[in-house]
Structure 1
Amino acid sequence: MERVKYEMGDIVKMKKTHPCGSDLWEITRTGMDFGIKCQGCGRWVMIPRIKFEKAVKNIVSKKSES
């Protein structure tokens, strides 16, 4: 099983929606913990890598699409 590479600036779709109704998040920090920013309301949260990887459905757009 190949590990997915997440980078800062990527937009990801999560399995559950945020209370504001959006399920799209921008990755703002990577490492052992991930910092993600809601694309609906702008809320910023930190979650552990393992929890983040289980919650991600797919990558909507990559930062470096050139």
Structure 2
Amino acid sequence: MNVQVGDRVEMKKPHPCGSKTFEILRVGMDFKLRCLNCGREVMAPRKKIEKNIRKIIGE
């Protein structure tokens, strides 16, 4: 999957605040995402994030 830092992605499952859109802050073995609704930053393994991305919105 071709995801770059700065891309916005829509996930299959929403964040507890209700938003499904996140911004990619870091790419590697782990992804660091920022929720675009509440601003919370989350780190998760690459495999889990790639599985849960519905679509890449871009910058």
- TM-score normalised by the chain length of structure 2: 0.95
Match of 1:13 among 10, 15, 18: 10
Question: Mapping of 1:35-54 within 5 angstroms?
Answer: 35-54=32-51
One-letter code aligned to 1:13: E
3-state secondary structure, aligned to 1:35? strand
Instruction: Compute the displacement of 1:19 (Å).
Output: 1.1
Match of 1:25 among 18, 22, 38: 22
Which portions of structure 1, spanning 4 or more consecutive aligned residues, are displaced by more than 4 angstroms? none
CA distance in 2, matches of 1:8, 1:18: 20
Question: Over residues 20-66 of structure 1, what are the superposed CA-to-partner deviations in whole Å (9 max), with x where a residue is unaligned?
Answer: 11000000000000000000000001000000001100101x23xxx
CA distance in 1, matches of 2:49, 2:16: 17
- TM-score normalised by the chain length of structure 1: 0.86
